[in-house]
């Protein structure tokens, strides 16, 4: 068997087109331009790349991108003051604080200062709690992107499928488990302390790898015919010295066993950005008491 490729790049492109059309409607009908404020603390090179990329995609769909770059040793009260200012700025619809933060700043404290209605990342405890209790909420972008890929692959019906999420982060693993549960999957979360992990993952129809370590998920982790979503983006050095981007799944071995698999790059990554743009439009609708179109709702 050779797995079919789940094309995240193509679905993300479609979603970005829909976002651009809705942004144009907001402009022509309501004279509104959605605006996203991105706060970057310090000079982590990977974060700088992500923030630049977010800005570029925002502009492409007509969303205004505002960037706030702060020194790595900024004090907590200074960062909190900036977020509060953005909370009260009616021109700003979405607020995103790029993670990781320098070690002297507690991410939970900082994120929970963001107005939950402007929390495009869906990380605020209010949004996490609303998602966990089945209430309408802003949903974290990477899990939302994974869900949209799965829904399309299974023709919008995941009911009764066994899903395993490898990784228990607040950013991906936990919210994705909630989303899959909401779609009536039976969900297991496994992590670094799980015993006999392969015995669990081998029983599942859907395997989502979100551990943040390169090529850990091997052929013997996978049930024949399973669907694999690879959230990982890892840079590894090859024998010839060149840097290669790989996922958390060992693609070369797993794609012989699986029915379908997301590639890295071109799988979950582009969906994350597209979902961020969709969430920003959603915050603009929320902030202006406009009903968001159904496709924007997770």
Q: Which residues are catalytic?
A: 54, 98, 121
- Nearest-approach distance from CB 170 to ligand GUN, in angstroms: 10
Strand boundaries in the chain, DSSP class E: 4-5, 35-41, 64-70, 94-97, 162-166, 186-190, 206-209, 227-230, 234-237, 243-246, 260-261
Stretch that binds ligand GUN, among 93-101, 193-201, 262-270, 288-296 (CB under 6 A): 93-101
Name the one residue in this structure whose structure tokens are 């942004």. Answer: 23
Q: Which is nearer to ligand GUN, 141 or 249 (CB)?
A: 141
- Nearest-approach distance from CB 247 to ligand GUN, in angstroms: 15
Contacts of 117 (CB under 8 A, 6+ apart): 138, 283, 286, 287
Site string for ligand GUN, 46-85 (x = CB under 6 A): ----------------------------------------
Burial letters 236-275, b for 16+ CB under 10 A, else e: eeeeeeeeeebbbbbbeebbebbbbbbbbebbbbbbbbbb
Segment (H or E) for 108: helix 107-111
Q: Which is nearer to ligand GUN, 6 or 271 (CB)?
A: 271
Q: Which of 58, 83, 96, 166 binds ligand GUN (CB under 6 A)?
A: 96
**Minimal CB distance residue for ligand GUN:** 99
Q: Which of 115, 119, 121, 183 binds ligand GUN (CB under 6 A)?
A: 121
Q: Which of residues 165-184 bind ligand GUN (CB under 6 A)?
A: 171
- Nearest-approach distance from CB 159 to ligand GUN, in angstroms: 28
| Beta-carbon count within 10 A of 93 CB | 27
Q: Is 23 in the site for ligand GUN (CB under 6 A)?
A: no
Q: Which of 93, 127, 142, 283 binds ligand GUN (CB under 6 A)?
A: 142
Q: Which is nearer to ligand GUN, 107 or 293 (CB)?
A: 107
Q: Which is nearer to ligand GUN, 171 or 274 (CB)?
A: 171
Q: How many angstroms from the chain centroid is the CA of residue 30?
A: 29
State the Cα–Cα distance between residues 267 and 258, nearest whole angstrom. 15
Q: Which of 5, 70, 80, 99 binds ligand GUN (CB under 6 A)?
A: 99
Contacts of 232 (CB under 8 A, 6+ apart): 209, 210, 211, 212, 213, 214, 246, 247, 248, 249, 264
- Nearest-approach distance from CB 75 to ligand GUN, in angstroms: 20
State the Cα–Cα distance between residues 18 and 10, nearest whole angstrom. 13
Q: Where along the sequence are the contacts to ligand GUN (CB under 6 A)?
A: 96-99, 121, 141-142, 171
């Amino acid at each position: 068997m050779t797995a079919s490729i789940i094309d995240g790049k193509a679905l993300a492109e479609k979603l970005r087109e829909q976002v651009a059309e809705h942004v144009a409607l907001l402009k022509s009908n309501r004279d509104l331009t959605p605006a996203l404020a991105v706060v970057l603390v310090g000079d982590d090179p990977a974060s700088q790349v992500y923030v630049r990329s977010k800005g570029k995609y925002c502009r492409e769909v007509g969303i205004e991108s505002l960037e706030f770059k702060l020194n790595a040793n900024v004090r907590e009260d200074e960062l909190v003051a900036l977020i509060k200012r953005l909370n009260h700025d009616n021109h700003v619809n979405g607020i995103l604080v790029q993670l990781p933060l320098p070690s002297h700043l507690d991410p939970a404290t900082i994120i929970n200062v963001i107005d939950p209605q402007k929390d495009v990342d869906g990380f605020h405890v209010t949004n996490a709690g609303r998602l966990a209790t089945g209430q309408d909420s802003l949903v974290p972008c990477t899990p939302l992107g994974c869900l949209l890929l799965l829904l399309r692959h299974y023709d919008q019906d995941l009911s009764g499928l066994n899903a395993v999420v490898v990784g228990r982060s607040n950013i991906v693993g936990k919210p994705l488990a909630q989303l899959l549960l909401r779609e009536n999957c039976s969900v297991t979360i496994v992590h670094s302390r799980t015993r006999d992990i392969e015995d669990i993952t081998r029983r599942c129809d859907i395997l989502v790898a979100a551990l943040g370590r390169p090529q850990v998920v091997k052929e013997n982790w996978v049930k024949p015919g399973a669907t694999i979503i690879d959230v990982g983006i890892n840079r590894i050095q090859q024998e010839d010295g060149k840097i290669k981007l790989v996922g958390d799944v060992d693609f070369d071995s797993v794609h012989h066993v699986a029915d379908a698999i997301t590639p890295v790059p071109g799988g979950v990554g582009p969906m994350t950005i597209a979902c961020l743009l969709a969430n920003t439009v959603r915050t603009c609708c929320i902030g202006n008491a406009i009903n968001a179109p159904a496709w924007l709702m997770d």
